[in-house]
Amino acid sequence: MEMREIGHSGIIVNGLGMGCWAIGGGSWWGESDDRMSVDTIYRAARLGIEWIDTARVYGFGHSEEVVGRALRSMQRHKVILSTKCALQWDTQEGEYHFSRDGHDVYRTLTPASIRRDLEKSLQTLKTDYIDVLYTHWQCREYGLVPVDETMGELIKMKKEGKIRAIGASNVSLQVLKDYAATGELDVIQEKLSIVDRKPEAELLPFCEAHGSRCRPIRRLSRDCSPDRFRMIMCLRLEVCGTGNSGGGVRIFGKSMRCFADGRI
């Protein structure tokens, strides 16, 4: 399996990861079986999936609790653990983001708020460091919290050894440029699939030019029905060709090829 460095962090990881949003349950995904979730994380690790991705807001802390439970029986140094900060539901600080399951959630990227998120995540996940910490959502009003203030706190966390790599999610090109100008951004996490390819236009070229990675999510598109998926695959095959001669969408500076049997 191909191994890649996460930006310039020195963290080497393969291209597969396990997203743990659904593990949080709640009205997003319905009730979940925590024992099954823990067993799934164990199974993923045995199959070579070492990057486990969660967020504070997934299940309003429940996803991190379940991941932390799994980590207790794993060799921590063999797991690449990422989580996300900047969404708060125990304070009305910042910009209103959404309401769900009785919680009002706010975006805030102040140094104090992301520091508070980190400490809560460390406690919930039962670990003394996070491999990758993402800012989950950026300011709705551009510049409300200057990126250099947010990045300054993230750099402090990295120097303290509490995080190993800095990431950002749901970014615009301007915000991405601000992160790159004020510090070293190792990775972004964005929706990128055969039906949602917007990052290809601006974000991926910028990341490739500046040594940052893009961690795609929803590669098969969460909102894509099986029939629609088959139709899109047929269209992609027609455009790209079949066998080993096809072209394709660029991810991590590589070419994702479409094959006649439907593999990508």
Any alpha helices (H) in the chain, and if so which ranges? 26-29, 34-46, 62-71, 111-125, 147-159, 173-182, 203-210, 226-240
Q: For residue 190, which amino acid is it?
A: E
Closest CA to 250 of 209, 211, 201, 212: 201
58 given a catalytic annotation: yes
Cβ(150)–Cβ(169) below 8 Å: no
Catalytic residue among 58, 106, 134, 179: 58
Question: Vertex 251, ends 246 and 253: CA angle to 5°?
Answer: 90
In which region does residue 253 sit, left (phi positive, over 0), alpha (psi from -120 to 50) or beta (all else)? left
Surface-to-core class of residue 226, CB atoms within 10 Å of its CB (0-12 exposed, 13-18 middle, 19+ buried): exposed
The DSSP 8-state label assigned to residue 217 in this structure reads E
Closest CA to 57 of 113, 17, 7, 6: 113
**Cβ-Cβ contacts under 8 Å for 119 (sequence gap 6 or more):** none
Q: Which helix (H) or strand (E) holds 189?
A: strand 187-191
Q: Distance between CA atoms of 53 and 254, rounded to whole angstroms?
A: 23
Q: Distance between CA atoms of 50 and 246, rounded to whole angstroms?
A: 30
**Cβ-Cβ contacts under 8 Å for 77 (sequence gap 6 or more):** none
Catalytic center residues: 58
